[in-house]
Amino acid sequence: MNWTATAVALFQVLVATLVAPLVIGITRQTRARLEGRAGAGILQPWRDLLKLLRKETLQANGVSWISSVGPIIVMASSLLVAALLPLISTITLPLVPDDLFVVVSVLLIGTVAVALIGLDAGSAFGGMGSSRHMMIAALVEPTVLVAVYALSIPAGSSLLSSIVATRLDAPAVILSPVSLLAVVALFVAVLAETGRLPVDNPSTHLELTMVHEAMILESSGRDLAWLELGSWLRLSALLGLVANLMIPWGLATDATVLALVIGTIALLVKLTVFAAALGAGEVFLAKLRLFRVPELLAGSFVLAFLAVTASYLVT
């Protein structure tokens, strides 16, 4: 067993977990400021989380084990994704490479768990959210896979770490049309997958527009804490991935302490920038009508597909 790699992965998970609520805090704060509000401060998500963990957990009569185990599965899948993705370093775990297909599947486990939690209590809104959530997930998947397929062609590998490493070695790739198209497509997919505007409004509780919130309506206490943290972690990890694809510099390629420190700082900087940008962007966006979302996703799919085509014809 390669202990260094394991330690690096654990470190990466730790950092990501600590940072994830802050990323949400930054987006919310940015948004508040731009909208002329004072905002609750970037630490507010952490405070919410700790409060939730201390509260009593209620659950509906007659639910199955999904309602109690589901949140843990969601959290674990997000943690696993954080461990696999090249966020701080390109060093991968032995036997568990950060193969794109594996990462997507692990993410989907979380998606499925949330969807099942939504159905389990038997309330009308949970089913609604679950149904919409799964529809979006189903339509996002082609975009994600095709986009990364496009990115993997120059690298000759579907390992995300190799893709990022290739970009470090040959930065020209980043600005190639293939890369631009693919990264934009991937970014849209990430927004959809993590329930951000314009696909889903994370701060709404207006019944008819809820997606993610509808599924977790019946959860409380630590269940809700895991579900929230899990989704934040997922957002941070994916933002980190997109950031590293666009700006790979700073990423540690070996396991020295210095490199890791640089990598961590780089990650924090990138995430801060991206989170702020995301928050700023959301000020100007309205949520799409639910049945416009497939058009958006179709658009991003076309971008991804063009990227693949371009990768054959242009470079």
Of 149, 71, 87, 119, nearest to 305 by C-alpha is: 149
Q: Residue 105 has which token pair?
A: 């599947």
Angle at 288 between CA 218 and CA 247, to 5 degrees: 95
Q: Is the distance from CB of 34 to CB of 283 less than 8 angstroms? A: yes
Measured from the CB of residue 252, what is the shortest distance to another protein in angstroms? Answer: 20
CA distance 64 to 283: 40
CA distance 110 to 227: 10
Measured from the CB of residue 98, what is the shortest distance to another protein in angstroms? Answer: 11
Angle at 75 between CA 28 and CA 272, to 5 degrees: 30
Roughly how many angstroms between the first and final C-alpha of the chain, as a whole number? 39
Measured from the CB of residue 245, what is the shortest distance to another protein in angstroms? Answer: 17
CA distance 310 to 167: 17
CA distance 90 to 93: 10
Measured from the CB of residue 258, what is the shortest distance to another protein in angstroms? Answer: 26
Angle between helices 100-120 and 66-84 (to 10 degrees): 160
What does the DSSP assignment read for 196-222?
-TTT--TT---GGG-SHHHHTTT--HH
Q: Residue 161 has which token pair?
A: 């770490």
Amino acid letter for position 287? K
* Burial bucket for residue 100 (CB in 10 Å: 0-12, 13-18, 19+): buried
